Amino acid sequence: MIQPRSRSYGLLTLAAALLLPLGLAPAAAAGERTPLSVKLETKGFEQIARRKGVTVYKHRYDSNIRLGADATIDAPVKDVLRAVLDYRGQVGKIARLSESRVLQRGKGWLKVYQRLNLPVISDRDFNLKVRWGQTGDTTWVDYRAVERGGAPPRGGVVRVSHHEGSWQLQPIKGGLATRVRFQVSIDMSGWLPKWLARSGSGKEVPEVFVALRGMIMRSDYRSARCNSTKC
């Protein structure tokens, strides 16, 4: 199993937020995780966009925001995983993310608090239980919003209770690149009508992948795999 380095980690879970302008016993499987070998179209999704090398899907029938995305990132799995779990590094990289803190950590899990600064409507926040591991050649990350054991609710901020998703990372091109699948389901809560949230869903998902790629290309990420060779 791949283990990230000892630093503040996190997960790019803010695609759903971008759509508006992503006891500590082992948890059950969090978000939907359709195997990479299975086409999302066979699970009720339809393609709604393809931009910047990212194919975005929306579920045809779910009343919540429920999305999927497939892409390739030209970096090894370990580097992609490191960026996906780098919560502190996401602040300033992911639009609308105003706060991101790791509250607790254990072997293969984190508990994280995040706050989203949104236009027009009130800020949203949530506590996430994040887990990661490996099945076969696929490294996975699952997360789910939890009510207990996290940061308490704040005045003027709407607490999101339904927010779950997953990342799947599979090595390709001899391990030099990664096939990525991202899935998320979220109810933004508050007064925002679900039909309005769904109407704009998926338009900004490619920007999440752009941010992820940008984080991976930072010098401190590259140094781990470049050694003494020129990158």
pLDDT tens digits, residue range 13-47?
444 444 433 433 333 345 789 999 999 999 999 99
38: in domain: yes
DSSP β-bridge partners for residue 125: 115, 159
CATH of the domain at 57: 3.30.530.20
Domain presence at residue 77: yes
Does residue 19 lie in a domain region?
A: yes
pLDDT of residue 3: 47
pLDDT band at residue 186, thresholds of 50, 70 and 90? confident
Residue type, 116: L
* 3 domain-assigned: no
**Domains of the chain: total:** 1
pLDDT in tens, 135-178: 999 999 999 999 888 889 899 999 988 889 999 999 999 999 99
| Domain-embedded: residue 231 | no
In this structure, how many other beta carbons lie within 10 angstroms of the beta carbon of residue 60?
11
In a domain, 215, yes or no: yes
Angstrom distance (rounded) from CA 188 to CA 9: 24
Helix (H, G, I), strand (E, B) or coil at 16: helix
Residue 110 main-chain phi, psi, to 5 deg: -140, 155
Query: Would 6 be classed as within a structural domain?
Result: no
| Average model confidence (pLDDT) across the chain | 80
pTM of the predicted protein model = 0.80
Q: Is residue 178 part of a domain?
A: yes
Range of the domain at 35: 15-226
